[in-house]
Structure formats: structure tokens, C-alpha cells
Amino acid sequence: MTNKKINKNSFYQLAKKVLAEQKKPMHYVDITKEILKTKETKGKSPERTVMAVIIRDKHDVFKRIGDGVFGLTKLKEVYSAESSKV
């Protein structure tokens, strides 16, 4: 089993950082917009890259909340409490 080192500027880490800072679930397009404020990319479809990274998460960091909307698994309780207030 190889132990890959995850780049702190990878889309994976940046998506995780954005969701942690926002403390709320976000649509992957909005996550991408926040990432692109700090990261340059030469790719033609960064939104698809972010979506793919989140969907392929093998560490159970991201939780799908709705269509294209994701949050962090560790903040699941916070999301539940906030949605019950509405």
C-alpha cells in the first residue's frame, strides 16, 4: 500500500479548505469559484475537476447533501442543526 502525499494546493485540499471556512454545504460550482480566487489553472473545466475530486473521495471527507451540493462529513451535525432552524 502506497502512502501518497497530498499537495496542499490540490483541488482536493482546496475544496476541503473552502468548505471548512464557509461552514456550510456548497454547490461544486461555487466551491470552484472560491478555489479559483487563489489558484490558477490551465484546465478548460475546473468545475468538472472539482466535482470529480469530491466524488472520488476515498477518505470520506466530503458528504453529498443534494444535487451538486457537498459539505464536509465532520461538519454533518452542524449542517443538520442549521437546517432544522429554518
Domain edges within the chain: 11-85
The answer, as to whether pTM is greater than 0.95, is no
Contact 18, 26 (CB under 8 A): yes
Query: What is the third-level CATH fold of 11-85?
Result: Arc Repressor Mutant, subunit A (1.10.10)
The residues near 47 (Cβ < 8 Å, ≥ 6 apart) are: 28, 29, 32
For residue 1, give the C-alpha cell.
500500500
pLDDT at 42: 85
Q: CA 15, CA 11: separation in Å to the nearest integer?
A: 6
Under-50 pLDDT residues of the chain: 1-2, 81, 84-86
Q: CA 44, CA 24: separation in Å to the nearest integer?
A: 27
pLDDT at 86: 44
Please give the single-letter amino acid code of residue 62.
F
In 3D space, the residue among 7, 68, 17 whose CA is nearest the CA of residue 38 turns out to be: 17
pLDDT at 64: 94
